[in-house]
Amino acid sequence: MAEGNQSTVTEFILTGFPGLHPEYQDLVSAILFFVYFLTMAGNVTIMFVFATNHSLHKPMYYIILNLCTCDILFSTTTLPKIISKYWFHSGTISFTACFVQMFFVHYLGTVNSYILFLMALDRYLAVCHPLKYLILLNNSTILILSITAWVVAHAGPLMMVIRAYPLPYCASNIINHCYCDHIGITILACTDRAPYGFPAFVNAMVMLLGTLAFIVFSYCCIIIAVLKIANVQGRIKSLSTCSPQLIIILLYYLPRCFVYLASNVGITFSADVRIVIIMMYSLCPPMINPLIYCLRAKDMRESLRKQFKRRAVLKKAHVSAISD
């Protein structure tokens, strides 16, 4: 069939988890809603603490602020629809809305990779070039780099949508996933997928492996620099400043690399297992990241402690005023 907007498909159906028994659908929707609630609550709290504490207005926390924003947007793009599928039995999504969701899924994934790149750059300069850190990576520089990341990241996903949208979708409209992505949509097209799938794959690999290569390089340099520190306490302190970022980076990249490597060495997963793995590495980091910031970043812990203490004092004063 010739290419063009000859689509007879007006909407798509998201299968979610294909093998899920109907009696567990309410439980799954409740779990997904809980994940979404924790993600929103945790990241909004971090953003509020950042906004109300000028002591946190440092390059590292500006990067974390970008990551919080990206996590909130990604979770909001993907979770509400799959929650409504199981909670309200509404698994259909309009043709255009599916492509809009596809764009934001890939766009925010790309932004996330760029933000993790900035996070690794921040720690590399802080540990390996501490005397030049404030000159090379001040708040203004981070602002420029962050805006650049959000602007540049749209190019690849936008091109994927522009090329995929006009394809003829005249057969099945069932997407075996919890949200619309490039592979899930384009395999339904009544045409050869190779000219569209390969460029998208190359783009994904460049975004994923390109940033990962720099992250690996930067942390190798950090480890070498730390090992040169004679004082054991100095080594521990230097590593502790990197641990939150390193944990976040590992949570993002390790599962993705495992899935890609498994597919290339012949390890296959059932549709359910594959979707569960994808959902875990897509949705767990946004939920866990705020906890990592709070537990591992000393400045963030102190700011949260001050916030709770201030609220407790205000509440106590309010109760005393009412009783008087």
- The mean per-residue pLDDT over the stretch 186-209 comes to 79
pLDDT grade for 54, boundaries at 50, 70 and 90: confident
pTM for the predicted model, two decimal places: 0.85
For the chain, give the percent of residues with pLDDT over 70: 87
Tell which CATH classification among 1.20.1070.10, 1.10.1030.10, 3.20.20.70, 1.10.150.20 matches the domain 11-311: 1.20.1070.10
**Domain chopping of the chain, boundaries:** 11-311
pLDDT at 79: 92
Mean of per-residue pLDDT scores for the chain: 83
CA angle 239, 245, 251 (to 5 degrees): 120
- The mean per-residue pLDDT over the stretch 170-199 comes to 82
- The mean per-residue pLDDT over the stretch 268-276 comes to 77
Query: What is the amino acid identity at position 78?
Result: T
Strand order in the sheet with 11-14: 92-94, 11-14, 174-175
Taking the C-alpha atoms of residue 138 and residue 71, their distance in angstroms, rounded to an integer, is: 24
Judged by DSSP in three states, 11 sits in strand
Taking the C-alpha atoms of residue 53 and residue 299, their distance in angstroms, rounded to an integer, is: 10
CA distances from 54 to 48, 57, 62, 72, 310 (A): 11, 5, 11, 22, 16
Is the pLDDT at 252 greater than 50, yes or no?
Answer: yes
pLDDT grade for 74, boundaries at 50, 70 and 90: very high
Among the listed ranges 11-20, 67-76, 198-207, 218-227, which one has the minimum average pLDDT value? Answer: 198-207
pLDDT grade for 3, boundaries at 50, 70 and 90: very low
pLDDT in tens, 94-153: 999 999 999 999 999 999 999 989 988 998 898 888 888 888 889 999 999 999 999 999
Is residue 163 a contact partner of residue 185, using CB atoms and an 8 Å limit? Answer: no
pLDDT at 65: 92
